[in-house]
Amino acid sequence: MKNKVIVFFITFFVIMSSMVGVSLFINYLRDPLQLFSQKFNSQKLIDNARHQVSSIIKLYPFNSIILGTSMLENTSSKEASNILGGNFMNLSLSGSDFNTRSLILNYTLKNKRINKIIYSLDSNGLVNHSMKDTSNFDFLYDDNQINDIKIYLNKKYNQCLFDNSCYSKNIDMDRPYSWYKVEGHSKRFGGLDNWFKAKNNSQIKNAFKSILESIQQIKLGKKN
C-alpha cells in the first residue's frame, strides 16, 4: 500500500511538472508579452501595463516618456511631442507609487537615450509613503532576461496558449493604457453637471467623502 502511495505522488508530480513545462514552452514560443521577440507588434498588447511596458521599452522607438499614474494615462504622446519636441511614449501605470515607477524609469534609462520626461508628483504618493508589492513583475525590469519566463506561470496567460483572446483590442500607441473612452469613466467628465450626475459612481462618492472630511479638518483648525 505504501509503495502505491509513493508511486501515485511521483506520477502526480511528474504529470504536473510536465504540464507546467509544456505551458511555459508554448507561451515562450507564442510570447504574448513580446519579451523575447525581435519585432514589436503594436496590435498585440496585454491589458496589464506592469507586465507589458518592459517590451514596449525595449522594442518600440521613442526618446522621451510620460510616466505617471492614471491621471497621465490619457495624455497624448503625439501632443506632447508636438508641443515639447522629441518622440514621446506614454508609459504611465494606473495606481502606481513612486517605487513602482522607479522600476520603469530605471529600465527605460538603461535601454533608451531619453531626452525629456513628463513625470507626475501625485499628492497621494507624496503623503502615503507605503510601498506597493512589486514581486510579481519586478523581475521583468532587471538585467536578467532568463527569469522573465516566470511571468508565464501567471494563470492569466493560460488563455494565450492557443488563441489571441488575452490581447487587448483597439490599442492606440498614442496612449496605450488610456481609459477616457470607457463609458464608466467618460460619463464623469465634461463639467460639473456631469460630475454631479455621476454621483453614484464609486470614485465620485470617494471624492465627496474626501471633500467632507477635509472640511471637517478645516473646521477643527487642523492642517490638512
- Burial grade of 176 (CB within 10 A; 0-12, 13-18, 19 or more): buried
Contact by Cβ (8 Å): 99, 134? yes
SS3 assignment, position 46? strand
- Burial grade of 138 (CB within 10 A; 0-12, 13-18, 19 or more): middle
Alpha helices in 112-201 (DSSP H): 123-127, 183-186, 192-197
pLDDT of residue 224: 58
Q: Write down the residue that cell numbers 513625470 correspond to.
A: 119
Contact by Cβ (8 Å): 51, 102? no
Alpha-carbon distance 93 to 74, whole Å? Answer: 11
Pairing type for strands 64-67 and 88-90 reads: parallel
Please measure the distance between the N-terminal and C-terminal CA atoms of the chain and give it in whole angstroms: 70
pLDDT of residue 1: 58
pLDDT of residue 10: 53
Backbone angles phi, psi at 94, to 5 degrees: -60, 130
Q: Give me the count of residues in the chain.
A: 224
**pLDDT by 10-residue block (mean), the chain, 224 residues:** 51 47 54 86 89 95 96 96 97 93 96 96 70 91 91 81 78 91 82 84 86 89 73
Residue 108: all three cell numbers together:
527605460
pLDDT of residue 166: 81
- As a 3-state breakdown, the chain gives helix, strand, coil percent values, each rounded to 5, of 50, 5, 40
SS3 assignment, position 28? helix
Contact by Cβ (8 Å): 125, 72? no
SS3 assignment, position 141? helix
Contact by Cβ (8 Å): 72, 94? no
Alpha-carbon distance 28 to 1, whole Å? Answer: 40
pLDDT of residue 167: 85
